[in-house]
Chains A and B, each alone.
Chain A
Amino acid sequence: MDSPQTLFEKVWRPHEVAAETPDTPAILYIDLHLIHEVTSPQAFTVLRERGLGVRRPELTFATMDHSTPTRTEQVFGGAPIAIEAAARQVRELEVNCHAFGVELLGLRHARRGIVHVIGPELGLTQPGKTVVCGDSHTSTHGALGALAFGIGTTEVGHVLATQCLLQKKPRTLAINVNGRLAAGVTAKDLILAIIGTIGVAGGTGFVIEYRGATIRALDMDERMTVCNMSIEAGARAGMIAPDETTYAYLAGRLRVPQGEAWEQALEEWRQLPTDAGARFDKEIDIDAAALEPMVTYGTNPGMVIPISGSIPQRPGDAMFAKSLAYMGFEPGRPVAEQPVNVVFVGSCTNGRLSDLRDAASLLRGRKVAPGVQMLVVPGSKEVKRAAEAEGLHTVFLEAGAEWREPGCSMCLGMNGDLVPKGQYAVSTSNRNFEGRQGVGARTLLASPLTAAASAVRGRVTDPRELL
């Protein structure tokens, strides 16, 4: 009898073109390669220089999201893309996809969106697949039981040319989550709490499998939020075993197998969950019932506290002091009640329909506080359409928020959607690094509920006060 295997091993093994040896890494076959405008141009240049083509264009899929505008007139005409270099990247991706036969969801395509939102949405991401993209939040796709991780541009070139990557086999980390999340506490709060517990390097060298009753009870949007931020704990990939929730989500999507092939795929997917008795290299237990809404106070996602808590004291830690100085905070004080200038709801972490519903639920019949700019950016055109069909956009607009075209937007500010210097932003994105949302911008990461509550009050607010 075969020894019990983890989900990770069950995906990794069948993709080994050649297993790891003492002298060489494994050659791993890639089932789905997602590309975008920022990390692909130099890879295509290498293909050209070496006279190579794309080995499996039908397994390669392109979109544009990072540097694209979110203002309707810049997307659909009437105004040029404000940043010339961004416009050049968009054009270059169009040219490359055309020349190499890669399918592209271009700027005006009805299904364009953030790469990690549209992969699952289109049914491209499936259980058991290996998925890569030149972007660290590729870990998102692990929510469907895929092995998905971010790669650099040189590796993008490797996959384009050979459909393979040289990889050292990572170790496995089980994060067992049990207990019911309280009202007002979301998947975002859960993953922030996990990162706060294991630290921003706690997952380095590991693939995480999120397990336990709490994870099983999450819907797909929530599972994606959790897996998305695996990289903020240093783990390249986060995975959740596929189950009926996964299959119900995938059923009928555009690119999933249909008819008899669907039945056969289901049969295979049902074999994927970790066997009883399989060993992980490391295990951690988290009690979800004890969690509160979480908010970051520093300049990495591990610097996070419950919203009712206070910033810790770390005398003698110069880095900590520097980080707080950047944020304009002192140790020992709470973050709640901090006045905010900007609120951003969006990104591949929290730009899906359920996130927008959460934010709208607190904004309905309320107003964004005077002086606060609130930006709501759907993760994809599909999310935008679905939200508009429910009237969510009206809720946002009537509350005084802006409703934009999909893209990464203020998550990294490449397209000009920036937080002004020194201002405080409550953001549903994933990184609060210095300058991430603009030079001198001060980012507080939180859930869509906390973001919306903070927009209404104009200060960092526990969403449970408005539920």
Chain B
Amino acid sequence: MDAIKTFRSRTVVLAASDVDTDQIIPARFLTTTTRSGLGANLFADWRYGSDGAARADFVLNRPEAQGCTILVAGNNFGCGSSREHAPWALTDYGFRAVVSTQFADIFRANALKNRLVPVIVDQATHGWLVEHPGADVTVDLESTTLMLPAGRAVRFPLEPFARYCLMNGVDELGFLLGRQTEIVAYEQRLRSATVASVAG
């Protein structure tokens, strides 16, 4: 996996709050059995009209949004279904970070596993970003800061472990597999302590 240290982009703003994962990627696209190709249907019902044509009024379809890799989203982004297809669709489309005041728990966990950085900022910073679409910002993982134009910078919370995984290209499965000895010891402890089991 690639290590991520810092990246810079203009922002694209989708300020609606409580955007659920059914909007990010509608259920009818979940019949896929792979991870790739979902970007084409990211926000499908907002992005395309019923005739399948791109809607000029949707923010991702505007010329200035092309190539942006940082999405500024509203509060409680990614609520609802646990579908990891949501971060798959966002990263496949090209996003590398989402900035919001709050993320739904499962979405945030899924995003981190797909190297999509959830950047949580305060209301004031968020308000500024919403009012300045296209702002040139930098996500820096070393200092866990979001750097805004004119030298302003705000720290964002990120667990040390998540930061370590992102910055070193470590994947959690590898980490867990490295802890096998403890897992085996746990299972042995358990076997001698209980008899309740699902086998019946």
Contacts and interface: CB of A to CB of B under 8 A. Distances in A.
Contacts of B109: 151-152, 155
Contacts of B187: 29, 163
Interface of A is mostly: loop
Contacts of B197: 257
Interface in B103-152: 104-106, 109-110, 113-114
B196 A265 contact: yes
Interface string B163-200: 01000000011011101101100110010001111111
Contacts of A59: 198
A152 B21 CA distance: 12
A18 B182 CA distance: 8
Given A25-B161, A258-B200, A319-B16, A439 B45 contact: yes
Contacts of A134: 82, 84
Nearest to A421: B50
Contacts of B35: 42
B160 A22 contact: yes
A231 to B, nearest CB: 8
A204 B173 contact: no
A258 B102 CA distance: 46
Interface residues of A, number: 81
Interface stretch (B22-30, B53-61, B89-97): B22-30
Contact of B179 (A27, A46, A431): A27
Interface in A89-117: 89, 92
A261 B198 contact: no
Nearest to A93: B33
B134 to A, nearest CB: 20
B82 A150 contact: yes
Contacts of A302: 18
Nearest to B26: A435
B76 A435 contact: no
- B: interface residue count bin: 35 or more
A153 B33 CA distance: 11
A17 B27 contact: no
Instruction: Point out which of B110, B183, B190 has the most chain A C-beta atoms below 10 A from its C-beta.
Output: B183
B76 A255 contact: no
Interface in A266-304: 268, 300, 302
B20 to A, nearest CB: 5
Interface string B61-105: 000000000000011100111111001000000000000001011
Contacts of A29: 183, 186-187, 190
A142 interface: no
A264 B196 contact: yes
Contacts of B28: 413-414
Contact of A18 (B16, B179, B200): B179
Contacts of B30: 38, 66-67, 414
B32 to A, nearest CB: 7
Contact of B102 (A83, A201, A236, A322): A201
B178 to A, nearest CB: 10
B176 A27 contact: yes
A43 to B, nearest CB: 9
Contacts of B18: 200-201, 300, 302, 319
Contact of B106 (A150, A163, A268): A150
B176 A162 contact: yes
6 contacts: A32-B198, A41-B34, A155-B113, A162-B176, A257-B195, A261-B195
